[in-house]
Amino acid sequence: AALPVLRRSGGTIVNMSSGAGIEGRGGGGYYHAAKFAVEGISEALAGELKPFGIRVLIVEPGPFRTDFLGRSITMAANEIPEYAATSRKHYRETNDGNQTGDPDKAIAVILQAVDADDAPLHLPLGPIAHSIAERKLASFRSDIDAWRDFTIATDFDQL
């Protein structure tokens, strides 16, 4: 119901993703999958809405000191010993309340991006999210460069 109003007046849709939407890691595949979906639908939406003057901002925060790792998260009661090394339980237990990100500063940056004429599509927030994005870009670039000759040689031969 918001799109008819936004088409008339323009605006920005802010979708909350995560550093987990940039790069998948062990122990949280379900969460990564959900955030990858947010990334994909947001990118598609950005292309669809651009002609109407509607922007999309994908916020990709790293760890911020909120209740995300506290009472707002539910962990499975049964543990599978084989997955202990990749479990996010240890991460949660050692990082809850120790996140370095300040939520008030994050909100200020988000609002700044919404008001900016040159707002990005992707907004990794915090030094950890920024390093995740840099690492993902480097890995992606390495794969693309290493396999370029093979991947572009897949069209039909010219007749």
Judged by DSSP in three states, 16 sits in strand
Q: Map residue 26 onto helix, strand or coil.
A: coil
Task: Give me the half-sphere count of Cα atoms (radius 13 Å) on the Cβ side of residue 34.
Answer: 7
Please list, residue by residue across 71-109, b when 16 or more beta carbons sit within 10 angstroms of its beta carbon and e when fewer do: eeeeeeeeeeeeeeeebbeeeeeeebeebebeeeebeee
Beta pairing partners, 87: none
Q: Is 35 a catalytic residue?
A: yes
Active-site option among 9, 17, 136, 139: 17
Nearest 5 degrees, angle CA 42-CA 63-CA 54? 20
The single residue of 9, 18, 30, 35 carrying the catalytic annotation is 35
Catalytic residue among 9, 18, 31, 87: 31
Is 17 tagged catalytic? yes
Question: Among this protein's residues, is 89 annotated catalytic?
Answer: no
Q: Which residues are catalytic?
A: 17, 31, 35
